[in-house]
């Protein structure tokens, strides 16, 4: 890769992770993890992730009823399915 890695990271942060909406969504995900950590369902370094049954991007909330503990692999697979579904909707 010919570009400077600092420059590349700065541009990607601005483009993908630095927007107001991206920061708000990240804060919601972090808060969901805190909720289940306090409840004793997950802990730091346990390899588990907090999954939203109804995703935040689809209007889901951080209520306990909408949260579940899953493995990293399962959570990433579910997220990929949602992303692919959203791409197909945009094309139509």
Q: What is the pLDDT of residues 47-74, one digit of tens each?
A: 999 999 988 878 888 899 999 999 989 9
Instruction: Identify any residues that bridge with 52 across adjacent strands, giving them in sequence order.
Output: 67
Are the C-beta atoms of 51 and 74 separated by less than 8 Å? yes
Q: What is the pLDDT of residues 2-47, one digit of tens each?
A: 467 777 787 777 777 788 888 888 898 899 999 999 999 999 999 9
- DSSP structure class, residue 13: I
Instruction: Reduce the DSSP state of residue 51 to 3 states and report it.
Output: strand
Contact 57, 45 (CB under 8 A): no
């Amino acid at each position: 890769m010919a570009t400077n890695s600092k420059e590349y990271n700065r541009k990607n942060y601005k483009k993908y992770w630095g927007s107001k909406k991206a920061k708000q969504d990240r804060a919601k995900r972090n808060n969901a993890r805190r909720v289940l950590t306090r409840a004793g369902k997950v802990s730091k370094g346990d390899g588990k992730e907090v999954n939203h049954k109804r995703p935040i991007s689809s209007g889901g909330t951080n209520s306990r009823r909408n949260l579940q503990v899953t493995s990293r692999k399962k959570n990433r697979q579910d997220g990929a399915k949602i992303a692919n579904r959203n791409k197909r909707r945009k094309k139509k």
